[in-house]
Structure 1
Amino acid sequence: MSHRSRLAGFIIDCQTDDLAPAARFWSQALGASIADPDAGDVPGTYVQFGDTRDGLHIEVQKVDHASRVHLDIESDDIDAEAARLEKLGAKKIAFVKRWWVMEAPTGQRFCVVKMHHPELGTPPTTWD
């Protein structure tokens, strides 16, 4: 059965006690508004930006690990997309809440998340 996927956006992981200053910095650096200052399941853990180029989903996230940037790939079938990426050499690291954390063969971490608005933005690629 086929499924679809595409680049969803970028998450800026911030190792910090207070996410608000990091959100202000990245908002101004990227020229994006703060659309949702409390976007996560837990208050103070995610800030979502609006007015992003090409409608990319960009947010800052409070984390315990070292600060870094990771990308999200969205799919209408996250298990099928994770399996496709494993065949390319990626490996599953963990299933967290509603998404797969994966690692590329070269060590970069990324997430496979649920596609919510396939009609918006760049059309997704269909995979068999």
Structure 2
Amino acid sequence: MTIRWIWAFLDRPATQFDECAEFWTAVTATTLSAKRGANSEFVTLLPDSGAPAVKMQAVPHGPRIHLDLDVEDVPTEVDRAVKLGATLVLEHPEHTVLKSPHGMIFCLTPAGTEGEIAPVVTGPEGDRSRLDQVCLDIGPSDHDEEVKFWTELTGWRWMPGSLPEYSRLTPDSKLPVKLLLQRLEQDRPTAAHLDLACTDIETTAAWHEKLGAHRVRWGTGWLVMTDPAGQEYCLTGRDPE
């Protein structure tokens, strides 16, 4: 599969959608597109320059993250994904919804968006950050199969991480979002969270708190936060450039 573009898709409860949209546009220095969809449930977060890479959807359930992968031939890639172990969830004229072998929702969508990656965001205190990574959280029993699936599906280069519970998938071409694969300590369906690379985690966290986020816990080089809907994300010490 050649992925032409990758989208981080933020599914947020309809009752908290406006609050979450305000938060995520602020921390990504974007503005909302016009709403679209049968129930006006979809928006794209538009940067001042560069191509967008984040979308949001108002949903009737709790918050979650899914991925949209833009490809040249959706039906062909759907067939291949199913052969690799994906489950077909929903076929739509414009996209197909699937589920990875152990529960991660993703969509295959027609190629269209390409361009320069949006610039780094500068916070009010001069700290710099970028939403650059989606981390797939995988239970230990499912880890090897799930990693194999995503590696074969994307065709991206697999590399071990700095800690044994992490590995990384990196595309050959320049795309706005990379994939981190995390082996959890307890089994649960595969899900995902966002990672933002920061020049100053503490300063960025203080800014996010003023916008409605909450601190949860520190890790080794990262800080776990929750957005206004309670969805976890991480601020990391990676270089946002």
TM over 0.5: yes
Matches within 5 A, 1:14-25: 14-17=138-141, 19-25=143-149
Residue type of the alignment partner of 2:127: H
RMSD: 1.9
For 2:230 and 2:153, how far apart are their aligned partners in 1? Answer: 27
Task: Name the counterpart of 2:168.
Answer: 48
* Pair 1:29-2:153 in alignment: yes
TM-score when scaled to structure 2? Answer: 0.44
Question: How many residues of Structure 1 are paired with residues of Structure 2 in the alignment?
Answer: 114
The whole-number CA distance in structure 1 between the counterparts of 2:152 and 2:209 is: 37
Question: What does residue 9 of structure 1 align with?
Answer: 133
Amino acid at match of 1:57: K
* 2:211 aligned with 1:92: no
Name the stretch that deviates more: 53-62 or 82-91: 53-62
1:48 CA drift (Å): 0.7
Mean Cα displacement is larger for which, 100-109 or 47-56?
A: 47-56
Contact 1:22 1:60 survives alignment (8 Å): no
User: Greater Rg, structure 1 or structure 2?
Assistant: 2
CA distance in 2, matches of 1:71, 1:100: 12
Map of 1:101 onto structure 2: 224
Whether contact under 8 Å (2:171, 2:178) holds in the other structure is: no
Structure 1 vs Structure 2: percent identity of aligned residues? 27
Report the AA paired with residue 89 of structure 1. G
Q: What's the counterpart of residue 197 of structure 2?
A: 74
Change (3 A) 1:56 1:27: same
- Amino acid in structure 1 at the alignment position of 2:203: A
What whole-Å deviation, never above 9, does each CA across 1:38-63 have from its counterpart, x for those lacking one?
A: 3132x3x1121121651533121101
Give the ranges of 4+ consecutive aligned residues of structure 1 lying more than 6 Å apart after TM superposition.
none
Which consecutive residues of structure 1, in runs of 5 or more, have no partner in the other structure? 119-128
TM-score (norm 1): 0.78
Shift of residue 117, structure 1, vs aligned partner = 5.5
Counterpart residue type for residue 100 of structure 1: L
* Structure-2 residue corresponding to 1:39: 161
Q: Distance in 1 between matches of 2:126 and 2:239?
A: 17
Q: Deviations over 1:72-91 (max 9, x none)?
A: 01110110111111011110
Give 2:112's aligned residue. none
Q: CA deviation at 1:17?
A: 3.1
Tell me whether 1:60 sits opposite 2:184 in the alignment: no
